[in-house]
Amino acid sequence: MINEEFTSSIGEHISDFLEYYKPVWAQRTYEHRRIHLLSLDRFLGKIGFTGRDIDEASVTSWIRSLPPLADSTLQNYISSARKLFEYLSAREISKCYMPPVRAVDQNYLPHYFTDNELDDMYGIIDDYPAGHRNKLPYIKAELPMVMRILESCGTRIGETVALQMKDVDLERGVLTMMHAKGDKERYVPMSDSLSIILGKYCAAMGIIGKPEAFLFPRKDQSEHLDKYEIENRFPYIRKWTGIEANRTGKFERNICLHCFRHCFALKSFKKLEANGVHLDDAVPYLSIYLGHNKLKETEKYLSFSAEMYPDELRGFENIMEANLPDDGMWDDVYGEVAE
């Protein structure tokens, strides 16, 4: 099935979409996306769909036509369709209905790592074992570097592992995220200390002067690490650090790598406030830095508990109420947790 052609009225655009993202996806991700979209393509052909605009009825019928699947697998199918529809809409090829994702717990509070927890975690990460003949022979060097970028820059794991040497300006200390969420490009400055560490890492990996080289390659260096190859190791690192995880409800997000992004947002906000930057001035800049489309997305990153930060919470609520009136304009957010 993986090599079958797309034959529906949007088949050509599905192929273009997959080819566009193939260089930055791991092979496994590419194959899964292709399978998901082949299912959509076949369904559209079966119902005689001949247009370009993807309506709600067609998408909903496709989802209902899928065989019984685990909840996580079903969400992967929906996620692949949403990414395709974002691509088609951004290029004004089609107007597409965006199917909602299954909402996770909207009362989610991220874990904010203490300095001691981070120190203990890096002690484990920097001594991470690498087995003989491992399919990821560079993981011992890659894992510490990935984690430091996540913590220091607040980047997403997917866009981080997809970085190439041409995206790194060591002289200016800037990372260029070419394929961020929403297919947006943005620049991410690094601290001087992180730039120095990254420079030493690149030299040790032998990739300086090789613009097409992946920062975090797999064994044959033609592909980059899959984000899951970092995510799947984090629960063990967290456990060895002694950070308990007791969130086990269905669709309930546990302590995960995304918490580093929340921590970055909170620390940035508090640092700006300490330097005299008012909240109403800080939020728009932080929103752009994080790659958010709307201020509402940034609000989720600062939705920390009133017990921990009562003054910050009251201040943020005040500015959000002033700038984002409750007029129903956010009803189409589909209950997504910011990613």
Residue 16 has pLDDT above 70, yes or no: yes
- Domain-wise residue ranges, the chain: 11-90, 129-232, 258-333
- Residue whose token pair is 């958010």: 292
Model pLDDT, residue 221: 86
**Greater model confidence, 180 or 85:** 85
Out of 10-19, 141-150, 265-274, least confident range: 265-274
Per-residue pLDDT, 326: 47
**The pTM is what?**
0.60
Q: Identify the pLDDT of residue 114.
A: 87
Euclidean distance between CA atoms 284 and 293, whole angstroms: 10
Rg, Å, the chain Cα set: 21
3-state class of 182 per DSSP? helix
Alpha-carbon torsion angle 132, 135, 140, 141, nearest 10: 130
Query: Looking at 3-7, 60-64, 174-178, 322-326, which range is the least confident one?
Result: 322-326
Question: Residue 330: its pLDDT value, please?
Answer: 34
Do domains 11-90 and 129-232 share one topology? The answer is: no
pLDDT for residue 8 is more than 60 = yes
The predicted structure's pLDDT at residue 101? 74
Angle between helices 279-290 and 310-323 (to 10 degrees): 80
158-212, pLDDT tens digit by residue?
A: 889 999 999 999 999 999 987 666 556 788 999 999 999 999 999 999 999 999 9
CATH number of 11-90: 1.10.150.130
pLDDT digits (tens, 9 = 90+) for 268-314: 777 777 777 666 666 666 666 665 555 555 555 555 433 344 555 55
Q: What is the mean pLDDT of the chain?
A: 79
Q: Which class for 253: exposed (0-12), middle (13-18), buried (19 or more C-beta within 10 A)?
A: middle
Work out the number of other CB atoms within 10 angstroms of the CB of residue 124.
Answer: 16
Q: Which of 98, 67, 207 is nearest to 145 (CA)?
A: 207
pLDDT range class, residue 70, cuts 50, 70, 90: confident
Enter the CATH code of domain 129-232: 1.10.443.10
More confident residue, 147 or 247: 147
CA proximity to 161, closest of 227, 260, 220, 213: 227
CB 223 within 8 A of CB 27: yes
Contact yes or no for 219/135 (Cβ under 8 A): yes
**pLDDT at position 311:** 54
Section 201-228 average pLDDT: 92
Instruction: Describe the strand order of the beta sheet including 168-169 as a list of residue ranges.
Output: 168-169, 174-177, 186-189
- Categorize the per-residue pLDDT at 239 as very low, low, confident or very high, splitting at 50, 70 and 90: confident
Could you tell me where the beta strands, DSSP code E, fall in the chain?
Answer: 168-169, 174-177, 186-189
Nearest to 168 by CA among 188, 193, 185, 192: 188
AA letter at 271: K
* Residue 122 identity (one-letter amino acid): Y
Stretch 32-55: mean pLDDT, rounded? 93
Of 33-42, 46-55, 265-274, 329-338, the range with the lowest mean pLDDT is 329-338
C-alpha span between 98 and 78 (Å, rounded): 9
- At residue 78, the 3 state secondary structure works out as helix
For 325, other C-beta atoms within 10 Å of its C-beta total 9
Token pair, residue 171, equals 């002289």
Task: Give 1's pLDDT tier (boundaries 50, 70, 90).
Answer: very low
Task: Name the helix (H) or strand (E) containing 29.
Answer: helix 27-46
- What pLDDT, on a 0 to 100 scale, did the predictor assign at position 220? 84
pLDDT at 278: 66
**Token pair 């489309």: residue:** 293
Rounded mean pLDDT, 66-73: 80
